[in-house]
A and B are shown apart, each in its own frame.
Chain A
């Protein structure tokens, strides 16, 4: 730590003159009664977050117990559970199931792609390389979300770079075969679930790498050596020593990938099919359909799912890895 920055400037006297009047009295009060100071420092942020954020969440929750009048399209502000009943319609259940499946697949894939990067950064990268890896994960994490999606629109477009690359490699038949598959296929990658999936993995990947790397950095290297000294093959060491120790990190990362996928509505709208995800359903219900209660009820679904997820993650010790 640089010490000179903490010292008062050289021109100031070593002992500052005490200030009298209001300021002095206030300062004395804070010193004698630290609770007053604590209250004053806490009040603005707690008021802001409490009123603006928690207040809004309650407003949202309240809306989900209202219902919409089907004839006039007006919102009936009376307590009812009917909106939640609407949520159980087959079409809406389909949306929920589709979103949760996608979130699970994205989480799994991010874990697989993230692990080698995190492992290398945690155990082999040193000095300059370590910084490079850190920035290499940080920069994509903080780069503009929309620009990243836009970049994938360029890549996945029918006339884009991926098709060009596959044509050069004489692998176009593979792409065509994949696109002709039901569910995952489509006219081109940019209007298929495969495209949605790739972009989700890409955009959330850094959120998985960071906690996994943090978890792996805490594994002492001699544990791995001890395992191989005792005759374990690298594969066995990985399965029985490294992986279980990295698991809390993976679970911590999966909180982000899972939650973010559940709530996103822009990626499937720009790269994907016309079938809706939860986020899109919320957006269209509150926007074009004007059915704010149903939109509110829809948002309760990810909140409840994430509640269970966090509960499970906590039991696996994932919060220590955050």
Chain B
């Protein structure tokens, strides 16, 4: 038993920690206010008036819908690929010891450890060397590559907590490998996979750096936003889209946290 429970924190530390957390959260909250501003041309504060008309304007913008649809499709397919690859890799690494195991983990983590621009330009130069034209699938190729690590991290942690004797017991009771997987392993890792899948979805939905190199003319939501940031056309629409993006990424994170909260605190580590 540690003896430091119940001690009071010094006031200075409390203030510094609170200020730090406010620093992290206030800018995001500000987005919610700006989505309702009546001001069109500048970022003036405080907003001269509040209105909900920009939600209707955004709703009727076909380019926003196209970007959203592309982002969702890319994220869905990349997440599916990442789920398969990440689970396979996690199963192999956590169940058995073999030569080069550390290298495999490094290989999985590398796409996220190196700066995104390196992944992006590497993929782009590979596409150009191999004469592959940019398409929906070049975006998916990039996204799936860096989404694997999120699924892998969640699955590995869960595999480590799953005791191997349950699998042996299942085999002893006459189940074959597939039945054991279906009835014993899958129920055990399901929530970890769901959490990993959601984080992968959020990661793909939000990715911009790699996408700028692999997308060609198509626009995902982040690419659309980047265009608006560099050359603003209609600021209120950008404000509304920004708010929606915050909400869309927030929900999977909260749900993934809820799924993995007891025991393995790995939901987001290793982004």
A-to-B contact residues, CB < 8 Å? 1, 5-6, 8, 12, 14-19, 23-24, 26-28, 30-31, 34, 37-38, 41-42, 44-46, 48-50, 52-57, 59-60, 62-63, 113-114, 116-117, 119-121, 123-124, 126, 131, 133-155, 157, 159-161, 163-164, 202, 205-207, 210, 220-222, 224-225, 234, 259-260, 262-266, 269-270, 279, 282-283, 286, 292, 295-296, 299, 302-303, 306
Contact = CB atoms under 8 A, between A and B. Distances in A.
Chain B interface extent, by class: 35 or more
Contacts of A149: 229
B123 to A, nearest CB: 5
Contacts of B61: none
Contacts of B28: 139-140, 143, 147-148, 151
Given A49-B85, A141-B271, A153-B229, 20 more contacts: A6-B166, A26-B177, A31-B177, A41-B91, A42-B89, A45-B85, A50-B107, A53-B119, A114-B20, A136-B25, A139-B28, A143-B28, A144-B249, A224-B4, A263-B114, A263-B115, A266-B226, A283-B117, A286-B124, A292-B128
A119 B17 contact: yes
A1 to B, nearest CB: 7
Nearest to A223: B4
Tell me what chain B mostly uses at the interface: helix, strand, loop, or mixed: helix
Interface in B223-238: 225-226, 229-230, 238
Nearest to B42: A159
26 contacts: A8-B183, A14-B173, A15-B174, A19-B179, A30-B177, A52-B123, A55-B126, A56-B125, A57-B122, A59-B122, A60-B126, A116-B17, A136-B25, A138-B267, A139-B254, A143-B249, A144-B246, A147-B245, A149-B229, A150-B31, A154-B43, A202-B27, A210-B269, A224-B4, A263-B115, A282-B121
B160 interface: no
Given A55-B126, A116-B17, A49 B111 contact: yes
A172 to B, nearest CB: 14
8 nearest interchain CB pairs?
A263-B115, A221-B4, A116-B16, A27-B176, A120-B17, A56-B122, A151-B27, A56-B126
Given A50-B107, A135-B257, A164-B45, A60 B118 contact: yes
Interface string B4-36: 110111100110110011011101101100100
Given A38-B92, A117-B17, A140-B28, A299 B98 contact: no
B95 to A, nearest CB: 8
Contacts of A152: 27
Nearest to B177: A27
